[in-house]
Structure 1
Amino acid sequence: MSDIAKAELQRYLQEGRNALVWKLEGLTEYDLRRPLTPTGTNLLGLVKHLAGVEAEYFGVVFNRPFAEEISWLSPDAAPNADMWAKPEESCKEIVGLYQRVWEHADTTISQLPLDASGYVPWWREASNPVSLARILVHVTAETHRHAGHADIVRELADGSVGHRDGNDNMAAGSQTWWREYNEHLESVARGCADQ
């Protein structure tokens, strides 16, 4: 793969990162942290989780460990410790860590060729070794998946939607239009439930 392909892959990863962090803007500490799904999904937890994901995939996998200790990655961390922020973990600290992890990951990406070989200790043997290209695609997909979660959680928190700042990527419609659209979908769903 060419340097152009690498740059395109990295650009898509960065777009996902930016979208996720943008979803935090303008919210209270409560709205950043509150669980809005039965499994506890919350905005700040998604960022915290992805900081760990990138630290491991672009660090451990290519023998380039991230310099800072990340407590929720330790073997004795509580289950789901990466999916929520403790009271003493501020939004600013978590976003700052995530951005430092980006820098580390971006250095790994820039210094290694896409066919560089790595090893993912938490994957089964048959899935190893891996290439940087595979990990770049894997982490990009995971980042965008969680950015989609963040989009839904943000909408549940305060009604805000959008792909990125200045581009909501939504059909044009007033609050009345959206309410009527939602009622129509509910009617269709109820009609199908009887089938």
Structure 2
Amino acid sequence: MWRCGLGLLTLYRRACKHSDDTIDELAFDTPGTVPHWPAERRTTTLGVLLIRMVDETARHAGHADICRELIDGEGQADKDEMWDAEHWRDYVDRIQPAAQAFRN
């Protein structure tokens, strides 16, 4: 499993380098296509793709943060500055049923 994770990080770094090189070399209005998108939306630009990737990255980072919260039981990084332990217990009690509904 460790090797699988290492391979994933290597692939991620290669993808980041490719993205950085593409952004450096092309204008935001450079046309492109995404073959697996529906035909009517397939033609796009680098700028649109970058906006989509920012959204996707934020969304998946949020998913990862939710998983981390489930593992360690902690909320956001500044949780101790915002609310006390009782507030967080109440918060978890309110959202836990919703999380459980999607578990299966």
- TM-score, normalization by structure 2: 0.74
The answer to whether 1:110 aligns with 2:20 is: no
Greater relative contact order (CA < 8 Å, ≥ 6 in sequence): 1
In the alignment, structure 1 segments of 5+ residues that lack a partner are: 1-86, 163-167, 187-195
| C-alpha contact (below 8 Å) 2:36/2:42 kept by paired residues | no
What one-letter code is carried by the residue in structure 1 that aligns with 2:83? Answer: G
Amino acid at match of 1:119: T
| Structure 2 unpaired stretches of 5+ | 96-104
Q: What amino acid is aligned across from residue 123 of structure 1 in structure 2? A: W
Find the partner of 1:130 among 36, 41, 44. 44
The percentage of aligned residue pairs carrying the same residue is: 35
Task: Give the partner amino acid of 2:86.
Answer: T
Paired letter, 1:172? M
Tell me how many residue pairs correspond in the alignment: 94
Partners of 2:84 and 2:2 in 1: CA distance: 40
In structure 1, the residue matched to 2:5 is 91
State the alpha-carbon separation in 1 of the partners of residues 46 and 30 from structure 2. 5
Match of 2:62, as an amino acid? G
From 41, 60, 63, the equivalent of 1:149 is 63
Q: In the aligned structure 2, how far is the partner of 1:132 from the partner of 1:155?
A: 34
In structure 2, the partner of 1:180 is: 90
Give, in angstroms, the shift of residue 112 of structure 1.
0.4
Across the aligned residues of Structure 1 and Structure 2, the Cα RMSD in angstroms comes to 2.2
More helix by share: 2
The AA in structure 1 aligned to 2:34 is V
